Amino acid sequence: MTGADRRPRALVVVTGSELVRGDRTDLNGPFLARELLERGLEAARVTIVGDRPDELEAALHEGLEADLCLVSGGLGPTHDDRTIELLARAAGRTLLLGPALEEEIGSLSRAFATRLGRPFADFEPGVRKQATLPEGARSLGLAGTAPGVLLDLGACVAVALPGPPAELQRLWARAVETEPLRRVLGRVRPPRRHLLRLFGVSESAVARALTEAGGDGNGVEVTICARDFEIHVDVLLEEGAEERGETLLAGLRSPLERYLFAEDGEAVEALVLARCRARGLTLATAESCTGGLVAARLTSVPGSSDVFRGGVVAYSDASKRDVLRVPGELLRSDGAVSAAVAEAMAAGAREHLGADVGVSVTGVAGPAGGTAEKPVGLVFVHAVGPEGGRGVELAYPADRDSIRRRATTTALHLVRRVLEPGFPRG
């Protein structure tokens, strides 16, 4: 099989000592891997490496052995931004100063220096550094003062992108339009992809359903992943495997139908807002142990303001009583962490914020505060809409963050169910 005929191989190198040390979470590696997969090319490896020159150069040497090497980070003006220098060394190319690029970066830096009231001379070394590229490389444009860089080595196409995710994504869109990347990506076909998204079922139950449906293989690849307390079943169909894939999907849908809530990448918070919007309903939240996380998920969706009226973080008994009008007698008799108080909080959110739908969360997130009767991990969620309401009790002993995240996801799914056609159901 010739090099032009075989399936191309891609590697992603993400650099930054802050990522290796755990100070920050890498967002660029997963983004680039998803982008490649959507275009039919699965990354063989995503490598995270610190700023040490020897470690980064070794990772770049390995990356350049692939057909496509994508690099994130290390393009700035400071001493520890070494990606371009080491990429040139790994590729055996000399570094050359680009006068046009120097002028482009310098223009931005001069304006920046003026705003800060500092002399441009302070910025000149960084400008020259960022305008110096490996021989034969080209700029993909600037994100801030850092250029994205494309280097076509023939056997390998290397793309270096800035570390900030928004900047990387902007320049990646330019990179995929270039002839060298089109040449590599033209050798693969995007697979047909189906994403089954489930809630309220275990991974083992989904795995059992997959086995009973015939399992993957023969052009069908299935990945089962627990993500934010949902189960995502990713089904990739290679060319020629469509019929087998549809049979497998039907075999999965049948036993899992009651848990299946979406077959696309739309998040549950977007689905909730869309359902409210379709019915002309508004939504409000009342939260205690989740501290506003449900509201944060909802407001992360652009355009949510036409549905979401607002939220109340009622952490103390006094705020539950005074703001949400939870009866003091109920707080004394049942306690703040109870099904009755969750129901009263949801009703209070509707009334206080003038919404059609209310959802509440109250519980013990820990690590302290639990008792024998109400241990850490006990959470009550309640959602109420025009057709009635429903409550859920969670008993999930875990760390504080996991308890809060699980409660948040459950609250959103409970609203989704309350808004389903035919609610209430048994």
Range 109-129 average pLDDT: 91
Range 402-407 average pLDDT: 96
SS3 category, 379: strand
Which pLDDT value is given to residue 5?
54
Confidence bin at 424 (pLDDT 50/70/90) = confident
Q: What share of the chain is helix, strand, coil (3-state, %, to 5)?
A: 40, 25, 35
Give the per-residue SS3 of 302-357. Answer: CCHHHCEEEEEECCCHHHHHHCCCCCHHHHHHHCCCCHHHHHHHHHHHHHHHCCCE
Which pLDDT value is given to residue 219?
87
What are the angstrom distances between the C-alpha of 197 and each of 32, 219, 235, 250, 349? 22, 21, 11, 14, 29
Confidence bin at 353 (pLDDT 50/70/90) = very high
Instruction: Identify which of 366, 417, 423 has the alpha carbon closest to the alpha carbon of residue 395.
Output: 366
Is the pLDDT confidence value at 413 over 60?
yes
Which stretch of 77-81, 323-327, 402-406 has the lowest confidence by average pLDDT?
77-81
Contact 183, 201 (CB under 8 A): no
Is the pLDDT confidence value at 2 over 50?
no
Structural domains of the chain, with CATH = 10-185 (3.40.980.10), 192-262 (3.30.70.2860), 268-418 (3.90.950.20)
Residue 285 CB coordination number (10 Å): 33
Contact 149, 133 (CB under 8 A): yes
Range 56-69 average pLDDT: 97
Q: What distance in Å separates the CA atoms of residue 169 and residue 24, rounded to the nearest whole number?
A: 18
Tokens of 388: 């009635």
Contact 87, 133 (CB under 8 A): no
Is the pLDDT confidence value at 56 over 70?
yes
Query: How confident is the model over 193-204, as pLDDT tens digits?
Result: 899 999 999 999
Burial class of 73 by CB neighbour count within 10 A (0 to 12, 13 to 18, 19+): buried
Contact 379, 403 (CB under 8 A): yes
Contact 377, 396 (CB under 8 A): yes
Kind and range of the H or E run holding 113: helix 99-116
Is the pLDDT confidence value at 1 over 70?
no
Contact 346, 330 (CB under 8 A): no
Q: What distance in Å separates the CA atoms of residue 105 and residue 92, rounded to the nearest whole number?
A: 26
Confidence bin at 6 (pLDDT 50/70/90) = confident
Is the pLDDT confidence value at 82 over 60?
yes
Buried-exposed string 390-424: b where 16+ CB fall within 10 A, e elsewhere? bbbeeeeeeeeeebbbbbbbbbbbbbbbbbeeeee
Tokens of 107: 């223009």
Which pLDDT value is given to residue 426?
45
Instruction: Identify which of 188, 189, 183, 186 has the alpha carbon closest to the alpha carbon of residue 156.
Output: 183
Which pLDDT value is given to residue 7?
82
Range 334-362 average pLDDT: 97
Kind and range of the H or E run holding 180: helix 179-185
Is the pLDDT confidence value at 405 over 80?
yes
Contact 212, 274 (CB under 8 A): no
The string of DSSP codes covering 193-232 is EEEEEE-S--HHHHHHHHHHTT-SBTTEEEEEEEETTEEE
Confidence bin at 425 (pLDDT 50/70/90) = low
State residue 341 phi and psi, 5-degree precision: -70, -40
Give the per-residue SS3 of 270-313. Answer: HHHHHHHHHHCCCEEEEECCCCCHHHHHHHCCCCHHHCEEEEEE
Is the pLDDT confidence value at 300 over 60?
yes
Contact 275, 419 (CB under 8 A): yes
Is the pLDDT confidence value at 230 over 90?
yes
Is the pLDDT confidence value at 8 over 90?
yes
Confidence bin at 277 (pLDDT 50/70/90) = very high
SS3 category, 389: strand
Which stretch of 5-9, 134-138, 184-188, 298-302 has the lowest confidence by average pLDDT?
5-9
Residues whose CB falls within 8 Å of the CB of residue 174, separated by 6 or more in sequence, listed in order: 140, 141, 148
Range 63-73 average pLDDT: 97
Query: How confident is the model over 365-375, as pLDDT tens digits?
Result: 999 988 989 99
- Amino acid found at 366: G
Spatial strand order of the sheet with 192-198 comes to 220-227, 230-237, 192-198, 260-262
Is the pLDDT confidence value at 172 over 80?
yes
